[in-house]
Chain A
Amino acid sequence: MIFIQILVNGLLLGGIYALISIGLTLIFGVVRVINFAHGEFLMISMYISYYCYSLLGLNPYWSLLINFPLMFVIGMGMDQIIIRPLRNAPAYMQVFATVGLSILLINLVLFIFTGDYRAIDLPFAKKVVQVGGIYLNYPRLIIFSATVLITVLLYLFLKNTDIGKQIRAIAQNRTAARLMGFKLNRIYMITFGIGSGLVGIAGGLITPVYYVYPTVGVYFVLTAFVVVVLGGMGNMIGAFLGGLIIGIVDSLSGYYIDPSLKETVYYVIFVLVLIFRPSGLMGLVGAEEMGMK
C-alpha cells in the first residue's frame, strides 16, 4: 500500500518535471540552443499567475489563457533579440547569453518584487481525493493530465500540421531544410515561442502547488536538464517518459534510501546516462553533439 502511494506520488511529481522539460527539449532539438533561462521563464510565468490571482482575483487555471500567449511572445522575443544575433556563433556564446539572461531575470525580479515567498492559498489546491486508500491531490492530478494532453497534442501538431512538419524537418537536417527553401528564422522564432509557451503553462499549473520566489526556476530547471538528457535531447516522448522516470526515482529513493539523498540518486543516473548513452533513452545517436556543429 505504501509502495503504491509512493509510486503514485512519483508519477504525479514526474508529470511536473515532464511538463517543464517538454518545452526545453523542443527548443534544444530544433533551435539547438540550451536555454539556461528556461527556469526563469517558468518563474516569470508563476509570477504572472500569482499577480493575476492576487490583483485581479483570476483563478490560476483561467489565467493560463494569459500565461501561454504572453510567454509565447516573450519566447519569440528572446529568440529574436538574444539568440538570433548569435545563430552562427560558437555554442558557448549562446550558453553565455542564456546564462546571462537567466541571471538578469532573477535579479530583475528580485529587485522589483523582493525575495519574499509568495503563495496562492487556493481552497481547491488542498483538495484530496482518496481512491482505495491512496491519496491523490487535485492540482497534481490536473498537472499530470495536462502533461499527457499536451504531449499528445504536441505530437499531433508536429506530425500533422504544416508548421509542425517544418519544425521536424529542421530538427532532422538544418542544411537540407534551408536548401528546400524553409524560412529557418521564422521557424526558430515560433519554436522558441512554443517552448516558452509550454513552460508558461507549466508555471501556471504549478503555482497553486508551490510558492513563488525569484530563484524557484533554478531548482526545477536542474531537474529538467536531467530529464531532457535522460529522454534524449529533442525528443518529446523522451522528455515525457524521462520526467516520469525521474519522478518515480525521486519518490522511491526518498523513501527507501533517504530523503536527503534522493537528488543524489538522480544526478548519479544523469552522469551514468552521459557516460553510457549520451543520446538518452530515445534520442538519435549523435544528437548530443548537435548543438556543437
Chain B
Amino acid sequence: MNKKVCRILVGMVMALALFPLVASGADQVIKLGTIFSRTGPIANLGMESWRGAEMARLLQNEKGGVLGKKIVFVDTDAPDAKAAVAETERLCTVEKVPVILGSFSSSICFAASAKSEQYKVVYWELGASAKKITERGLKYLFRTCQHGDGGGEQQLQFAAEVLAPRMGKNRNTIRIASVYEDSGYGDAWAAGIREMAKKMGVKLVLDESYNHKATDLSSLVMRIKAAEPDVILESSYENDGILLFRQIRELGLKIKMFVGSGGGMNLPGYRQGSGDGVDNHVCNVGFPGYNLNPSYAKGIEKLADLYRKTFKQEPEGVFSLVNYMGAMALWDVIKRAGSLNSEALVKAARETNISGDDTILRYGIKFAPPGAPDMGQNILARFFVTQWQDGKLHIVWPDEAATPGRKLVVVK
C-alpha cells in the first residue's frame, strides 16, 4: 500500500482508539455544583460547611456513587451574593449541573437559589438560616436544616423554660435581652425570638441589632448595661461575637448567661478570642458538633475519623455535620428519582420521608409540600443546645444527646 493510505488508516485507528476514552470520560461521573464562601469574611464558616458535603460525597462514592456513577463536585466560591449569582449562572449554563448544593450564608442562598430557579436547577440548601428562604414558593429549592426563626423560637424557649427556673426565676421575672447582627442571619433568629416572646407572654428588656462589620460595639454594650438583663440571646458571627464579649467585659458588665445562635459563637476561634470567661456562661442553640453522644448519633465516631483523615485537622466546628446529613439525603433523592432530570428530582424530593432513626442527627427529613407557606422546608429539623465548658463546646440538651459526662451548667 502506498504511504498516503497507510497514514489515513493509522489516523482512523488512532481516532477509534480515542473515541471510547472521550465518550467514557463524560458518562462515568455525576457532576454536581457547590456554592460556598471559600474566601471573604465568612470563609472559615463556608469552608467548614463545605467539608460536610464533601464527606458525604466521599462516603457515597465509596459505596459506588449514585445511579452507578461517582459524584464529582464543581466547587465554586461566593464571598458575597453578587459572586453567588455569577457562579450560579456559570454552573447552570456552562457546567450544566442538575443540582447545586450550598451555602451556609442566607444572603448567598437567597440570591443563588432565585437564579437557579430560573434555570430549573435543583438547589439543595444544607445550612442557611433565614426563614424567608423557603417562603418564596420556589419549586426547585429544598432546605434540609432548621431555619433561624425556628431557632430563635428555641432560643427564647430555652431561656424562659430551661434557664429561668435554674436561675431562681420564672418566665415573668427573668430579664431577657435580644442582640443580633443585622443581616439575613441575625434578623431571622431575632424575628423568631420576638414571635415566641409574644406567644409566651415574655417581655424582652432589649431588642437591638448591630452591624457585624463594626469595629466598635461600646455603644451597644452601654444600651445592654442600661437594660440589666439576666440572659442575653445573641446572634453573631465570629468576629463581632468576640468583640461584643470582650467589650462587655471591658465595660464592667456582668452577664450570667448567653444563649447564642450558632453562627460565630460555635467556632473554636470565638473561644480563643474571647478567653475562658466564656466557659459555663455561653450556650448555643444550633447545630451540633462531633461530641454528640455516640449512642445517640450512630456512626459519628467514624465520621470524625474521616474528617481527620481527609482534612488533616480536628473536627471542632459544628457546621459540617448538618451539611453532611443534608447531602446524604440528596443521594437518597437522586436514587429514588432514578435520573438527573429536574422534574424527577423534585418529585422524589417531595416524596422524601426519612425517619429520625436513620439519620445521624436523629431528626427526620420531610419537606413541606407545594402549597404550604414554607414549601421545600424540612419540617422535622430541629436544633440542639451546646455549652462552652473547659474550653470545648459540649452538647447539653436534649439530655439524651448530651456528651457523655456533661450536663448544662447554669450560673445564677
The yes or no verdict on A and B being binding partners is yes
Chain A residues at the B interface, C-beta cutoff of 8 Å: 2, 5-6, 9, 13, 16, 107, 110, 114-119, 121, 126, 128, 130, 135, 137, 140, 209-211, 213, 215, 219-220, 223, 250-255, 258-260, 262-263
Query: What are 5 A-B contacts with C-beta separation under 8 Å?
Result: A118-B273, A126-B277, A128-B249, A128-B250, A259-B210
Asked, given contacts A114-B44, A211-B239, A250-B219, whether A260 binds B250 with beta carbons under 8 Å apart, the answer is: no
A269 to B252, CA, bound (A): 31
A128 to B254, CA, bound (A): 13
Looking across the interface, which residue of chain A has its beta carbon closest to that of B237?
Answer: A117
Query: B47 — which chain A residues lie within 8 A by C-beta?
Result: 115
| Interface residue tally for chain B (C-beta within 8 Å) | 38
Query: B249 — which chain A residues lie within 8 A by C-beta?
Result: 126, 128
CB distance from B108 to the nearest CB of A (A): 15
Question: How many cross-chain pairs have Cβ atoms below 8 Å apart between A and B?
Answer: 114
A263 to B41, CA, bound (A): 19
CB distance from B205 to the nearest CB of A (A): 16
Query: A263 — which chain B residues lie within 8 A by C-beta?
Result: 211, 214
Q: Are B250 and A137 in contact (CB-based, < 8 A)?
A: yes
Query: A5 — which chain B residues lie within 8 A by C-beta?
Result: 222, 251
Query: A128 — which chain B residues lie within 8 A by C-beta?
Result: 249-252
CB distance from B392 to the nearest CB of A (A): 16
| Residue from A9, A107, A220, A251 in contact with B215 in the complex, judged by beta carbons closer than 8 Å | A220
Q: Are A107 and B39 in contact (CB-based, < 8 A)?
A: yes
| Residue from B209, B222, B269, B275 in contact with A126 in the complex, judged by beta carbons closer than 8 Å | B275
Q: Are B226 and A135 in contact (CB-based, < 8 A)?
A: no
Query: A6 — which chain B residues lie within 8 A by C-beta?
Result: 218-219, 222
CB distance from A82 to the nearest CB of B (A): 23
CB distance from B5 to the nearest CB of A (A): 56
CB distance from B358 to the nearest CB of A (A): 34
Contact flags B210-228 to A (C-beta < 8 A → 1, else 0): 1101111111101101100
Q: Are B218 and A254 in contact (CB-based, < 8 A)?
A: yes
A61 to B150, CA, bound (A): 46
Query: B210 — which chain A residues lie within 8 A by C-beta?
Result: 259-260
A252 to B222, CA, bound (A): 10
Query: B182 — which chain A residues lie within 8 A by C-beta?
Result: 260
Which B253-298 residues have C-beta < 8 A from chain A? 269, 272-275, 277
User: Is B242's beta carbon under 8 Å from chain A?
Assistant: yes
| Residue from A119, A135, A213, A260 in contact with B272 in the complex, judged by beta carbons closer than 8 Å | A119
Q: Are A259 and B275 in contact (CB-based, < 8 A)?
A: no
Q: Are A251 and B219 in contact (CB-based, < 8 A)?
A: yes
Q: Are B39 and A135 in contact (CB-based, < 8 A)?
A: no
Q: Are A117 and B242 in contact (CB-based, < 8 A)?
A: yes
Query: A130 — which chain B residues lie within 8 A by C-beta?
Result: 252
The 10 closest A-B pairs by CB, nearest first: A254-B219, A119-B273, A115-B43, A259-B220, A9-B218, A255-B219, A137-B250, A259-B210, A117-B269, A135-B252
User: Is B85's beta carbon under 8 Å from chain A?
Assistant: no
Which B154-184 residues have C-beta < 8 A from chain A? 182
Q: Are B215 and A255 in contact (CB-based, < 8 A)?
A: no
Asked, given contacts A135-B250, A135-B252, A213-B239, whether A260 binds B223 with beta carbons under 8 Å apart, the answer is: no
* Further 14 A-B residue pairs, CB within 8 A, beyond A119-B273, A219-B213: A9-B219, A9-B222, A110-B39, A115-B39, A115-B40, A118-B273, A128-B251, A135-B251, A210-B215, A211-B239, A250-B219, A253-B219, A254-B222, A255-B222
A211 to B212, CA, bound (A): 14
Q: Are B252 and A219 in contact (CB-based, < 8 A)?
A: no
Which B19-77 residues have C-beta < 8 A from chain A? 39-41, 43-44, 47
CB distance from A3 to the nearest CB of B (A): 10
Q: Are A215 and B223 in contact (CB-based, < 8 A)?
A: no
CB distance from B46 to the nearest CB of A (A): 9
A253 to B211, CA, bound (A): 14
Looking across the interface, which residue of chain A has its beta carbon closest to that of B181?
Answer: A260
